[in-house]
Amino acid sequence: MAKSGITPAQQAAELINDIREGVFKPVYLLMGDEPYYPELVCQAIIDNCLQDFEKDFNETICYGADVNASQVVTTARRFPMMADRQLVVVKEAQQMKDIEELSVYCAEPLDSTVLVLLYHKASADKRRTLYKTVQKTGVVLDSPAVRDYEIAGWISNYYSSRGLSIDPQAAALLGESAGTDLGVIAAETDKLLKNLPEGCTSVRVEDIEKNVGISRQFSIFELTRELSLKHATGALKIAARIGTSAKFALPMAVSAIYTHFYRILKYEAALLKTPRLQENEKAEILGVKPFFFREYDAAIRNYPIKTTMKIVSMLCEYDYLGKGGDGGAATPDELLVELTAKILNA
C-alpha cells in the first residue's frame, strides 16, 4: 500500500532495498509528475526480479499504447516457467485506454506474478478503483514534481545520500543548469564524480562550473543575488550575458526571479508579524540554507514590501510575454534586460 509520512525518496529507497533482498509485492503502481523515483524503482525490479536465464520465458515488458487490459491480465495470470515468479511491466501505462479494467486482476493478483504499472509524468486517478485497489494489495509510489525553490535542498540531500557534501552555492548553480529534472541532476552527478579527484567528497562551485559547463558569474543565481543587493551594473551585465546563452529561455528566467522575489515578499510579511525571527523560522519561510540569509536581509532593505509586491506583479506580466504574449519587437534577451532594469528602478 502507499506509505504516508515519508518522502518519495525515502519510500523509493525502502522499496529498492526490499527488491534487492528478494521481497516483491504482486502489484506496483509507480506514478507522478516527476519520473525519477518511479523509473528508479521500476529498473530495480527489472534488474532483480528474475535471473538472466529466467527472463526469456518469464519477463514481459510492454507499453501502454500497444496493449489493452485484457492482454495484460491474460499475461499476468500465466504461471512462471522454471522460475519462482514472472514479471510483467507496462511502461507509459497512462496510455492504456482501458487501464481501469486492471482493477479486477489487482484485487486478487497472483503471488507468482509481479505486475508493474509505470506511469510517465502522469498519475492514476486517485478517486477511481484501480488506485484504491492497488493501495490495498500492492504498492503505490507517488512522486510529485519538485518545485523550483526546493531543488537546491533536494540536491544537497541527494549528494548527502551518496556520501558527498555540496556547497550551497554549488547546489544552486547545479539546480539552475539542470532545472527540476531529477534524472538530469543524477546524470550530471555521475559525470561529475568521474572527474573529481579520487577520495574527494566535497563539491564546490568550481567543480560544477568545470564539469557541468555553467558559469556562476553569468547565471540566474548570480543575477538574483545582484538584484537583491541592488548592484545595477552587475545585474544588467549578467542579464545581457544570460540572454545570449544557447540554453536561454525567458519563461525559465522569469520563473526563477519570481521565486526569488516571492520569497522576499513572504519574508517581509513574516517580519511584519514577528520582527525577530529565529534562524529555523527564516529557513522554513525562505526555503534556503542559512548561508543565504544575509542576501535576503539585504533584499528587504532594498525593496520595501510595496515595491516587492509591484515587482511580483511585474514578473507575472513578463511571464506572459515570455510565453508568447505581445512583447512588440523586443526579443527575449532584450525583455530580460528590460525586466532587470525595471526591477532595479521599481
pLDDT tens, 88-146?
999 999 999 999 999 999 999 999 999 999 999 999 999 999 999 999 999 999 999 98
Q: Each residue of 162-199: pLDDT tens digit?
A: 888 888 878 888 887 777 889 989 988 888 888 888 88
Looking at the fold, whether 208 and 271 belong to one and the same domain comes out as: no
Assigned domain for 3 exists: no
| 19 within domain boundaries | yes
Q: Out of 121, 142, 163, pick the residue that ends a domain.
A: 142
Instruction: Please give the Cα distance from 283 to 167 (Å, whole number).
Output: 17
Domain ends where: 214, 236, 264? 214
pLDDT of residue 217: 66
pLDDT tens sequence across 236-248: 999 998 888 777 7
C-alpha to C-alpha distance for 42 and 64, rounded to whole angstroms? 15
Domain boundary among 195, 214, 233: 214
Same domain, 195 and 270: no
Quote the pLDDT of residue 81: 94
Which pLDDT band holds residue 3 (cuts at 50, 70, 90)?
Answer: low
Question: Are 320 and 230 in the same domain?
Answer: yes
Residue with cell 523515483: 37
Position 273 in a domain: yes
Q: Are residues 201 and 103 in the same domain?
A: no
Amino acid in the structure at residue 108: E
In the predicted model, what is the mean pLDDT of residues 266-295? Answer: 85
- Is the per-residue pLDDT at 292 higher than 90? no
CATH assignment of the domain containing 274: 1.20.272.10
Residues 210 and 100 in one domain: no
**Cβ within 8 Å of residue 80, ≥6 positions away:** 54, 57, 58, 86, 112, 113
**Higher confidence at residue 319 or residue 25?**
25
- Do 294 and 172 reside in the same domain of the chain? no
Domains in the chain, number: 3
Mean pLDDT of the residues in the chain: 90
Of 178 and 226, more confident: 226
Q: 336 and 279 in one domain?
A: yes
The per-residue pLDDT for range 35-91, each reduced to its tens digit, is 999 999 999 999 999 999 999 999 999 999 999 999 999 999 999 999 999 999 999
Instruction: Give the domain CATH number at 176.
Output: 1.10.8.60
Q: Which tens digit of pLDDT belongs to each residue from 322-343?
A: 887 776 678 888 999 999 999 9
Distance CA 333, CA 321 (A): 12
54-68 pLDDT, tens digit each? 999 999 999 999 999
Is residue 1 over pLDDT 60?
no
Q: For residue 193, give its domain range.
A: 148-214
Do 224 and 246 have their domain in common?
yes
Same structural domain, 50 and 128: yes
C-alpha cell at 9: 525518496
